[in-house]
Amino acid sequence: MKNSAFLTVCMNPTIQKILVFDDLVSDTVNRTNKYRMDPSGKGINVSRVLKQLGKDAVHLCQLGGELRPLFLDLCEAEDIKIKWVESNSPIRFCYTVINKNDKSVTELVEESHKVDEGTGKRLLDEYSKIIGDFSTVTISGTMAAGFPSSLIPDMTRIAKEKDVRVILDLRGQDLINSLPYYPDLIKPNLYEFATTFAPELVYRNEINPEIKDLKERIEKIIEKNIIDKFNDNPVSLVLSRGTKPVWYWDSAIKKLEEYSFEKVEPVNTTGSGDAFTAGIAACLDEGASLGEAIISGVKCGALNTAQISPGIIPPS
């Protein structure tokens, strides 16, 4: 029997700096003594929450540049298990600016540098060596520039050949090209799903608010792009929608279901989607239904939203 362990994969590591201000005034100097720095990226956040849920998790990524020792030291300080390959690509910083006065959370994101040629092969070789040791793999986020477009589909295929559960938190061609290899669950948010499969629903970087029959249209898009094409081995789907109810398509039920939850007062939303992924993955690994797993995922996401740092849930 395969060990209950998790591999989290993300090809876009970052160091997250969080700065908290009582108020922010534009066009002048703003100072704060409330700040912190964490290793981050979607896969690191998933690993961090899985660890807090009592699960054994290993993160796989590429690293490079002069900040690599800092990134590894930060992971070691939190006992985050990590495997990596050389990319010769400097690790980026991302910044979260929290204004307590108006309760705003602003993200400042550095785009990643291009990885060296051959990084994709090194990463896939390492992945292929270790994937059989895990019961579940989560693959999250956008790849840094320089990776081959075949990388994530190949990872999906190899995992399924090893009978490993695959959860994809992706969008665009990475998601579309992975579907023929039958991931168990895909988990974009609604906006990412629409930009991938139905860009006509998007208006000015959001779902067009004038669409009245949105749920019915989404259900038809799922049937056309996923169910009809992969009916011999259907994929389950979760669509998060921020503070709105979660929509999900359970391959066993073949219907777009909805889960409503109470809204929470957010402190920092960074990493909440990753906490949601971790909660779902942990629950599915324990044999729960998708509906039960979503309840756990929403709880983890809400707990993270109430924290300053990304990928943190307080002990229950």
207-262 per-position pLDDT tens digit: 998 998 999 999 999 988 888 777 667 789 999 998 899 999 987 777 889 999 98
| 303 SS3 class | helix
Which residues are paired to 207 by β-bridges? 202
Structure pTM? 0.95
The band of 189, judged by pLDDT with boundaries at 50, 70 and 90, is very high
Residue 284 lies in a domain: yes
Residue 310 lies in a domain: no
Residue 243 lies in a domain: yes
Taking the chain, what is the end-to-end CA distance rounded to the nearest angstrom? 30
> Alpha helix locations (H) across the chain?
42-52, 68-77, 119-130, 151-161, 172-178, 190-197, 214-222, 272-285, 290-305
Residue 246 lies in a domain: yes
Tens of pLDDT, residue by residue over 124-167, are: 999 999 999 999 999 999 999 999 999 999 999 999 999 999 99
Structural domain count, the chain: 1
What is the structure's pLDDT at 5? 95
Residue 230 lies in a domain: yes
Residue 280 lies in a domain: yes
Residue 231 lies in a domain: yes
Residue 278 lies in a domain: yes
Tens of pLDDT, residue by residue over 34-72, are: 999 999 999 999 999 999 999 999 999 999 999 999 999
Pairwise pLDDT comparison (3 vs 281), residue with the higher score: 281
Domain extent at residue 209:
5-23+35-305
Identify which of 147, 110, 105 has the alpha carbon closest to the alpha carbon of residue 21. 105
Say which CATH number the domain at 276 has: 3.40.1190.20
